[in-house]
Amino acid sequence: MSASDSIEFLLDGKLQQVRFNGQSAFKPSTSVLNYLRSLDNHKGVKEGCAEGDCGACTIVVASPGADGRLVYEALDSCLVFLPMIHGKQLITVENLSQKENGQKILHPVQQTMVTQNGSQCGYCTPGFVMSMFALYKNHHNPSTEVVLDALTGNLCRCTGYNPIVKATKQACCKEGKDHFSPLEQQVYENLKSIIDKNQDIELEGGNQQYFLPASLESALQLRKKHPDVLLVCGATDAALRQTKKMEHLPLIIDLSRILEIQKFEETENAFVFGAGMNLERMKQLTQNKLDALHDMLVVFGSLQIRNMATIGGNIGSASPIGDTLPLLFAYGAFIELASEAGGRRTMAIEDFITGYRKTALKPDELIVSVTIPKPSSDIIIKSYKVSRRIDLDISTVSAAFALKLTQNNVVENIVLAYGGMAAQTQRARSAESFLHGRLWNLENIQQAMGMVEKEFTPISDARADAESRKIAASNLLLKFYHQTLES
């Protein structure tokens, strides 16, 4: 089967086709934000930060779900490459209102923003409205906690958030019913007809090649052919190379269409997450199953970011401040890798991360899944993040600890994994060795704290100096100790 040189999606109720054959006005990695801003009637989407922090560019995409219904997700359009919306419905603030008898009728989320005085200068308002719209379609009478989570990725400098929160809660009481509802089945079928073509997509333009394979088999073939390619699945990290560093990205393989790496499986002894699973779905699946991981994902970025970012991408970036890595160390996770020639192989997460943004991934391999063994009931696992803000902030220091005690309160096994303290996620081995076989008491913890400070040589940067990081790292161990006494 020959590959397609175009993408298809729905916008304004119509099928849109954008071809990339070297003649297009857009290069494949054009952001959805810039694409929309190029149109005459979609200027509501705004660029505020170009890195997914402010939410002024928030859009909503609808895609066919497994239950025969549409799934609505809010995304930061500055981070979404145009091919990523292939087979989806793109919804912007211009699509929310409608006209009846010559009069404009606002969508409920827009109307409550008016009645609750939720807007002043208005620059951020379209982004807020789109986050509210996604919540409106997904939740009926949401709790304050759910509302705040939905709005975390949107910043306002003048109104204050209380009117917006009130507007959101007031609007989301109609079970998602609106003028989109009667058309949803037809939209679902139209999107399925695009997806069911199951055709690989190869795009060219602006001195760039962009591959959007439809299957893992195709992706592995491409990976073997192009070992130096940039791999993206959610692109929340890779997109910043384009938006902030102004890099040209000549060769991209986008794995976001591959359903084989988006699956979840629970076995008798483990949870298996596909590498292409987004972190919001992972957050939902881990609730009441892997509590420490769920709690960490609650404060991972924003909902817009979690709807895009994938567990495979977070692992593959090998960032020393990646939030999931210390916790995966503590859980004793395994990574499954695949290549066309070598088949599948599995390795411990600790062996996979080899240096600063370096991994053991071979030039022809892809991350397929991550397996987290089910912890026994007598193991205590906690995760911590030190940052300047609670929400939507990069870690200054992160840590994840796993502890198993004997009946006599002696340390039988312990893992002390840290992020932000070295060039890669790293365990405090000397402190672990010291605590192993000793009583779990304050005196031993205080000695281990000193070992933690001596074990690492962190850098000083805009977030914290090296000494502050050392103190924070040791204090997290003390915090963990006190919390184990409470459990």
| Tens digit of each residue's pLDDT (9 = 90 or more) over 199-240 | 999 999 999 999 999 999 999 999 999 999 999 999 898 899
Q: Is residue 159 part of a domain?
A: yes
Q: Regarding beta strands 358-359 and 230-232, do their DSSP bridges make them parallel or antiparallel, or are they unpaired? A: unpaired
What average pLDDT does range 28-57 have in this prediction?
A: 96
- Based on the fold, state whether residues 298 and 338 are members of the same structural domain: yes
Same domain, 328 and 448: yes
| Domain extent for 421 | 259-486
Q: Rounded to whole angstroms, how far apart are CA atoms 444 and 438?
A: 8
Token pair in block for residue 42: 């979609």
Please indicate, yes or no, if residue 65 is contained in any of the structural domains.
yes
Residue 1 lies in a domain: no
Residue 146 placed within a domain:
yes
d(CA 22, CA 232): 22
Structure tokens at 322: 């990646």
Contact residues for 92 (Cβ-Cβ < 8 A; gap 6+)? 11, 36, 42, 44, 45, 59, 126, 130
For residue 477, the model assigns a pLDDT of 98
pLDDT of 101 reads 86
Check which CATH number belongs to the domain holding 150 and give it. Answer: 1.10.150.120
Same domain, 307 and 390: yes
Q: Could you tell me if residue 228 is inside a domain?
A: yes
The strand pairing partners of 343, in sequence order, are 339
Q: What is the CATH number of the domain that holds 416?
A: 3.30.465.10
Residue 377 carries which side chain, given as an amino acid letter?
S
For residue 230, give the CATH number of its domain: 3.10.20.30
Q: How many domains does the chain have?
A: 3
Clarify whether residues 172 and 157 are in a common domain.
yes
Predicted local distance difference test score (pLDDT) of residue 102: 86
Distance CA 233, CA 312 (A): 8
CA 76/CA 309 separation, integer angstroms:
11
Boundary-marking domain end, from 254, 282, 314? 254
- Token pair belonging to 369: 């899944």
Q: Quick check: 78 pLDDT over 60?
A: yes
Q: Do 94 and 326 meet the contact criterion of CB atoms below 8 Å apart?
A: no
Residue pLDDT, tens place only, 445-487: 999 999 999 999 999 999 999 999 999 999 999 999 999 998 7
Question: Do 199 and 174 share a structural domain?
Answer: no
Same domain, 33 and 57: yes
Average pLDDT over residues 16-32: 90
Interval 13-28 mean pLDDT: 89
Does residue 143 sit within a domain? Answer: yes
103 in a structural domain = no
Please check whether residues 155 and 231 belong to one and the same domain: no
What percent of the chain has pLDDT above 90? Answer: 92
The answer on 154 and 194 residing in a single domain is: no
Assigned token pair, 451: 């070992």
**Is the sign of the CA dihedral 26, 28, 29, 32 positive or negative?**
positive
Distance CA 165, CA 169 (A): 6
Q: Mean per-residue pLDDT for 53-78?
A: 96
> What is the structure's pLDDT at 1?
55
Q: For 85-113, what is each residue's pLDDT tens digit? A: 999 999 999 999 998 888 999 999 999 99
Residue in the structure block whose two tokens are 């409550």: 112
Q: Are residues 63 and 137 in the same domain?
A: no
Please check whether residue 237 is in contact with residue 76, taking contact to mean a CB–CB distance below 8 angstroms. Answer: no
Is 215 part of a structural domain of the chain? yes
Q: What is the DSSP letter of 352?
A: H
Is the pLDDT at 2 greater than 80, yes or no? no
For the stretch 407-431, pLDDT in tens is 999 999 999 999 999 999 999 999 9
pLDDT in tens, 132-179: 999 999 999 999 999 999 999 999 988 889 999 999 999 999 999 999
